[in-house]
Amino acid sequence: MEKIYDIAVIGSGPAGLTAAVYGRRAGKSVVLFEKETFGGQMNLTGEIQNYPGIRSVSGAELSSFMTDQAMDLGADAEFGEVVSVEKSGGIFTIKTDGEDFFSRTVIAAAGVVPRRLGLEGEEKLIGAGISFCAMCDGAFYAGKDVAVIGGGNTAVEDAVFLSDICRKVYLIHRRPSFRAEKLLVEKTEKKPNIEFVLDSVVKTLVTGADGKLTAAKVEKTSGDGQKSDLLIQVSGIFEAVGRIPSNGIFRSLAECDGEGYIVAGENCITSCEGFFAAGDCRTKDVRQIATAVSDGACAATAACRYLS
């Protein structure tokens, strides 16, 4: 007879690892699915200084701490990509690229993937000049010149946040105007150290001898269609061109919003009984390691109540 787990957690970022910890401490059998590396996007952060109780830790170290805790408590780990999740007769079937698994509940903690610019050398510069989170990494660029790329609310909010930390902030957008809310744009206009670079696209990332970012080559289009090149000297670039929730396999199970995020409140309960969503993949306002950990605890607690 096939083993049926109490809780299946899909994704091993901070939300998924916390869910595994809480599930095991409640005496439930837990299987944790991961297709790449335990810790998820957390591993891309060179240094974390805003996680309560730990003054400074690398993303890789914090991932290791959380992973060890979940494994020491007896969570099973399965490496491979989950290709589908189906529910029948109160049991979920989790199909991977290798075999099928069964569980009474499922916690989706698959996270999101930041959209990339697609530039040469971009991946190598993550943590060495390129960041996707101003709130997480802004302090590392205190007193320095940085750029924010994007034209939506996130980009404009990041620029305002960074303007209080950095010497100068270039706000680079490929269109002649921002998509962000008017009030947010007006905030940036009042900041003397924010410079708009509109109708512009970053074409090349420039690095120094130490391999860190030193500048960005930008192509700017003028009103008559003529193009010109700018070299902007910056120590950091914050990419805010969107995130993609990794929820494709869950859309047939539970309600998702227009952007693909699973609709779930602070209790992490979705429209499908026995199916919960935790971390960045659910609808929420703040996406941080601390809030992901909170979600993991809430989702596992909700799953245990469902099982009781």
Catalytic residues: 133, 136-137
Residue type, 205: L
Q: List Cα–Cα distances, 168 to 19, 232, 302, in angstroms.
A: 40, 11, 45
Residue type, 32: L
3-class DSSP state of 293: helix
What gap in Å lies between CA 241 and CA 111, rounded to an integer?
Answer: 17
DSSP secondary structure letters along 234-257: -SEEEE-S-EEES-GGGTTTS-B-
The answer to whether residues 91 and 260 touch, using CB atoms and an 8 Å cutoff, is: no
3-class DSSP state of 86: strand
Taking each helix axis as running N to C, give the angle between helix 289-307 and helix 14-25, from 0 to 180 degrees, rounded to the nearest 10.
Answer: 40
The answer to whether residues 168 and 145 touch, using CB atoms and an 8 Å cutoff, is: yes
Query: Largest Cα–Cα distance of the chain, in whole Å?
Result: 71
DSSP secondary structure letters along 114-165: EPP---TTTGGGBTTTEES-HHHHGGGGTTSEEEEE-SSHHHHHHHHHHHTT
